[in-house]
Structure 1
Amino acid sequence: MKILVTGGAGYVGSTLVPMLLQQGHRVRVYDSLKFGGQGLLPCCQNRFFELVKGDVSDLGGLKSALEGMDAVVHLAAIVGYPACKKEPHLAQATNVDGTRNLLSLRKPDQKVIFASTGSIYGAVPDYICNEKTPRAPITLYGETKATAEQMVLDAGNGIAYRYATAFGVSNRMRLDLMPNDFTYQAVKNKSLIVYQGGFKRTFVHVRDMARSMIFALEKWDTVKDDVYNVGHETMNFTKEDVARKILEHVDFYLHFAEFGSDADQRNYEVSYEKIRAKGFETTVDLDRGIAELVRAAQLIEFQNPFANV
């Protein structure tokens, strides 16, 4: 299969693309390289890999990138609450307008897998969310993803995956994700302050995210034209749970603050029964993912030229 991966040089894409190539697919990555492309360097050894530098706001470039493709995995986005708050106009242009551009240019027979987010559920602590739960995003990120998700479903021959909070080691690492950030602080700073430790999130490893996309391509006729939560009920944890799990791997000072809060107020549990009924199960639990992050944190160094310690 010939597959276009928009945003393929990012955190999820740099995990997905090597897996697709390993299965023998021809993969074209369309990415602005806003955060560089080093995560895809190993893919350059594969003759079925192609990189096209471009932005989803560029209709000409996007049209060219779509030519000859059988399917599109649409990952290109400004991801997360902080990034969208920092650049709100870019978030709208990329997450919403970029998705509209893609859908307007793709041929009806070109499959589209859209990476949405559980953030669209907002803060609903009193019950477990499923795919029929009303969207109630409380951040710009969630709002833009909810809008784009509906576009994909309305267009047909597509699916939307509402992913749990991503975590884990990727070729293009992110340290702004909560488990990744907590682990890095524990390893490097030997201390961690947790606000609102009772707030609950649900998590999914980045490799399982990639596996879910491959699953969709393989089972297209049975999953298309629908939306699915992707994760597992056993991965519903409070922030305190995550911090204490890291303590099992790293010796550090852990403090739970009674005052102060995070700006991103997500607090929910999610059901993954629908995707599981189709035959998809996640494979990486929190303990295994944290162990990987501890090893990775030892390899990552940030140097502050203005510090004397």
Structure 2
Amino acid sequence: MKVLVTGASGYLGGRLCHALLRHGHAVRAFVRHSSDLSSLPARSKHVALEIAYGDVTDYSSVLEACSGCQVVFHAAAIVNSWLPDTSMFFTVNVGGLKNVLRAYKETDTIEKIVYTSSFFALSSTDGYVADETQMHTSKYFRTEYEKSKTIADKIALEAAKEGVPIVSVCPGVMYGPGKITPGNVLARTFVERFNGRLPGYVGDGNDRFSFTHVDDVVEGQISAMEKGQIGERYLLTGDNASFNEAFDIASTITNTKRCWIKIPLFMIELYGWLSVLFCLITGKLPLISPPAVDALRHQWAYSCEKAQRELNYKPRSLTEGLEEVLPWLKKIGAVKY
């Protein structure tokens, strides 16, 4: 099957391209001319990988990339908690999806669209565990990223009602080997933790996130292509835990001391404001921002039972995932322990 992957040079997109090739599909990787292609498979006459250059915000390039493809994996997105120009979240995350949907209507080969949404599109779950039936109230957003993904999620659901063969998958907080980007936030956090730049626990540990290994998400995406029902959303999530619990698991795996101090969220928020100011001066994006701290004040716990039941989704535990990721981080020299 000829498959298009948008955002193919990204953390998730690159892993998806590798997996699709292993599954025997021909892959067209949609990337920008400025993209770092190091996460993509090496091209050769024995690898069914094609590079298509363009931008999801440029409709003509999206339409050209979609031509002749049976499936579109729309994974392109700006994944960050804050940007100096917040309009970029909507230009890319909302506008990009609209362009893919428009291209579908103007081609006659696309049989299915697998749209990568986000758990943020379902809103927080303070005090309970949510499933796919939860809809964001749209009354309050912690980040502009959350707002853009919520808008895009509703556009995808409406498109399905109009007959577009689209399935949405909502990954949790992804982590795993690959690029250490904002999309690989747990690995990024461990780099700070093991290099002494994050010397304690984050807040009081009341946060809750659904941590998911990136390769489990990839297999869930491919299964959504094969088995996912049109118009449905599938949570590709995993163990629900706090960042502090993840730190404790990491300490056990690496046989290192656990954190003994707690850094109040107000101090991390203050650091976030200083980082934002530094960004406005230097252009270097902050590792943490006030909107990200706001997200840490809430819980984002989800059940993946529907994906397990309908997609045969089999997420590994957080401990199993970290037993792979931490040695990998050490091997590449990102952490020492």
- Contact residue 28 and residue 51 of structure 2 kept, 8 A: yes
Aligned to 1:213: 221
- Listed as ranges, the matches of 1:42-121 within 5 Å are 42-44=42-44, 46-82=46-82, 85-106=83-104, 107=107, 109-121=110-122
Instruction: Classify 1:43/1:247 alpha carbon distance in 2 versus 1 (closer, same or farther; 3 Å).
Output: farther
- TM-score (normalizing by structure 1): 0.87
* 8 A Cα contact 1:128 1:271, kept in partner: yes
Amino acid at match of 1:134: M
1:200 corresponding residue in structure 2: 208
How has the CA–CA distance of structure 1 residues 33 and 241 changed in structure 2, closer, same or farther, with 3 Å as cutoff?
A: farther
Equivalent residue pairs, number = 295
Corresponding residue for 2:289? none
Question: Alpha-carbon deviation of 1:291?
Answer: 2.2
Q: CA offset at residue 157 of structure 1?
A: 0.5
For residues 45 and 249 of structure 1, the distance between their equivalents in structure 2, rounded to whole angstroms, comes to: 41
Aligned partner (choices 233, 255, 267) of residue 227 of structure 1: 233
* Residues 1:292 and 2:324 are matched in the alignment: yes
The corresponding residue for 1:138 is 142
CA–CA separation in structure 1 for the residues paired with 2:116 and 2:103: 18
Any residues of structure 2 matched to 1:113-262 within 5 Å, and which? 113-136=114-137, 137-155=141-159, 156-170=164-178, 172-174=179-181, 177-189=184-196, 192-196=199-203, 197-220=205-228, 223-232=229-238, 235-250=239-254, 251-252=256-257, 254=259, 255-260=261-266, 261=268, 262=293
Q: Given that residues 123 and 135 in structure 2 are in contact (C-alpha distance below 8 angstroms), is that contact kept between their aligned partners in structure 1? A: no
- 2:301 is paired with a residue whose SS is strand
Contact residue 9 and residue 39 of structure 1 kept, 8 A: yes
Other-structure match for 2:290: none
CA shift in 2, pair 1:37/1:270, >3 Å: same
Aligned to 2:235, what secondary structure does the other structure show?
A: strand
Q: Secondary structure of the equivalent of 1:126?
A: coil
Relative to structure 1, is the Cα distance of residues 103 and 290 closer, same or farther in structure 2, using a 3 angstrom cutoff?
same
Once the two structures are superposed, residues 129-188 of structure 1 have per-residue CA deviations (whole angstroms, 9 ceiling, x without a partner) of 122223144321111111112222222200111111111112x33366442123223433
> SS where residue 125 of structure 2 aligns?
strand
Q: Does 1:270 align with 2:302?
A: yes
Q: Give the deviation of 1:37 after TM superposition.
A: 0.9
Opposite residue 328 of structure 2, the aligned amino acid is A
Structure 2 regions of 5+ residues with no counterpart?
269-292
Q: Write the letter of the residue equivalent to 1:267.
A: Q
- Counterparts of 1:240 and 1:32, CA distance in 2: 37
Give the CA deviation at 1:259. Answer: 5.0
Superposition deviation, residue 120 in structure 1: 2.2
**What's the TM-score once normalised by structure 2's chain length?**
0.80
Q: CA deviation at 1:24?
A: 1.3
Two-structure CA RMSD over aligned residues (Å) = 2.2
- What is the CA–CA distance in structure 1 between the aligned matches of 2:25 and 2:41, rounded to whole Å? 17
Whether the 8 Å contact between 2:180 and 2:187 is mirrored in structure 1 is no
The Cα of 1:38 is off from its aligned counterpart by 0.7
Unaligned segments of structure 1, at least 5 residues: 303-309
CA distance in structure 1 between the aligned counterparts of 2:237 and 2:322, rounded to whole angstroms: 16
Distance 1:293 1:102, change over 3 A: same
8 Å CA contact 1:200–1:267 kept in 2: the answer is yes
Deviates more, 1:73-82 or 1:104-113: 104-113
